[in-house]
Copies of this chain bind each other. A is one copy, B any other.
Amino acid sequence: MIAEVERRLGPKAVLTDPADLAPWLSDWRGRVHGQSDALLAPGSTAEVAEIVRLAGEYRVPLVPQGGNTGMAAGATPPADGSALLLSLRRMSRIRTMDSASRTAIAEAGVILETLHDRAGEIGMRFPLTLGARGSCTIGGLVSTNAGGTQVLRFGTMRALVAGVEAVLPDGSIHDGLSGLKKDNRGYSLDQLLIGAEGTLGIVTAAALRLVPAVAARTVAWAGVESPVQALALLRFLEARTGAVEGFELVPQDSLDLVLKHVPGTRPPLDGAHAWHALVEATTADRQHDLAGEVERLFAAAVDQGIIGDAVIAANEAQAEALWKIRDTISEAERAEGLTLAHDISVPVDAMPGFILHAAAEVEAAYPGTVASGFGHLGDGNIHFHVRAGARTAGDWYDAEGKAITRLVDDLVTAAGGSISAEHGIGQLKREELARLAPPGRIAALRAIKRGLDPLGIMNPGKLVP
């Protein structure tokens, strides 16, 4: 098959040198390692279709890959070398970008930051961002239904994708790029492909919604007594303004770690608070006095006893300093010792109770560990991290770590939540999904997969339990 692809698409479309392949055979965190004889790099949708048809003919599975920044090893090939890598990075054209219709059509290999920049040039913004923005690609963002820090206001990729172009497992091209606002011609293949992790087809391009560029932003930090109080602040703000687009919860414990390990950070507030909320508000309207509005709202929240104390960044440097605390929590935790991360969600209203209850359960079951939740409270999505405390052995992850993860996943499931909020299932969470999803759901996932990919050539071993 490799020779046939090269014969049809030329040498640019095939890499076989082990040195070229190496960076793409392991997942981003270096935890999962695969093998493959070649990386195929088509330059157009027609070439992707050609490769998919050949894959069906030769019965060779394909593992699609964008920036290879996934957190669940969904783009890492199987260890037995049975699959070929399919990189979409050569498909990196922004086909259209229009401020009137507020839509961009970007190919799968476009890097998120490039899209941000190009949208900015016409006074618009693509309102989704995340840490890997300098290397993650549109195809991967669509295929993992990526989230990030602006979901509160704009939703995940599912809400930002107006249409998908993809090559289906039979080699046919699904063209949903016209991005119709009203279209009821049967099941939404667009929505089915979003978050399918390449198991139902290869996303080659997407029509994406844009919003007007940010004219001003205001960042604030509030001290609160508990997650319950943080949620009360969120509801207070939401009822009075549509401008809040980030609402991050930070426990004092996380703040302490950041202050200890990250140079140049300092406490945002003078007083002591058990919990903190980082709030970002933005406006696209130059006439809107956002800073004044946020100031009035926070003053009212203090007056009404919803929060005890707060500070509003007076300038961009202060705003950056507040965000730096939030963004370096994981880094500080790593400096402190072993940390087990869980990307989970529960219904927003249940989140405050869940954080306290789950932390207590984990710490009681595994004495010496320290559990805490931080992150996107407004989305019901926190990063629930468990630190090993005095334990330092490298096999902690595989030994006690797995048991702790099962406990956390049990608690999340009991709370009606999701064991994968924004990172997907990939290879790493497949077992847990198999263990915890209702049998009817597992049967449905398998039936859809089998129905659309009867030959099993689309990213096998991922997502579907």
On A, residues with C-beta under 8 Å from B are 100-101, 144-145, 147, 151-152, 155-156, 158-159, 168, 170, 172-175, 178-189, 191-192, 194-196, 200, 212, 235, 239, 345-349, 376, 379-381, 416-425, 433, 437-441, 443-445, 447-448, 450-452, 454, 463-464
Contacts of A420 in B (CB 8 A): 183-185
Number of chain copies forming the complex: 2
Q: Which 9 A-B pairs have the closest CB atoms?
A: A172-B440, A451-B451, A191-B191, A447-B451, A182-B421, A178-B416, A183-B418, A182-B381, A181-B379
Q: Is the interface of A mostly helix, strand, loop or mixed?
A: loop
Q: Specify the chain B residue showing the minimal Cβ separation from A430.
A: B186
- Closest residue of chain B to A421 (Cβ to Cβ) is B182
- Contact between chains at B380 and A182 (CB < 8 Å): yes
A196 / chain B contacts, CB cutoff of 8 Å: 186-187
CB distance from A354 to the nearest CB of B (A): 12
C-alpha spacing A213/B135, complex, angstroms: 42
Question: A173–B439 Cα gap in the complex (Å)?
Answer: 10
CB neighbours (8 Å) of A101 from chain B are 347-349
Output the least CB separation between A151 and chain B (Å). Answer: 6
Cross-interface CB contact of A186 among B155, B182, B463, cutoff 8 Å: B463
Q: What distance in Å separates the Cβ of A234 from its nearest Cβ neighbour in chain B? A: 9
Q: List 24 A-B contacts (CB under 8 A).
A: A145-B184, A151-B182, A158-B191, A168-B440, A172-B438, A172-B439, A172-B441, A173-B438, A174-B441, A180-B345, A180-B347, A180-B380, A182-B376, A182-B379, A182-B422, A184-B422, A185-B418, A185-B425, A186-B433, A187-B444, A189-B441, A189-B444, A191-B192, A448-B448
Additional 4 contacts, C-beta under 8 A, given A156-B182, A182-B380: A168-B444, A170-B443, A182-B345, A185-B425
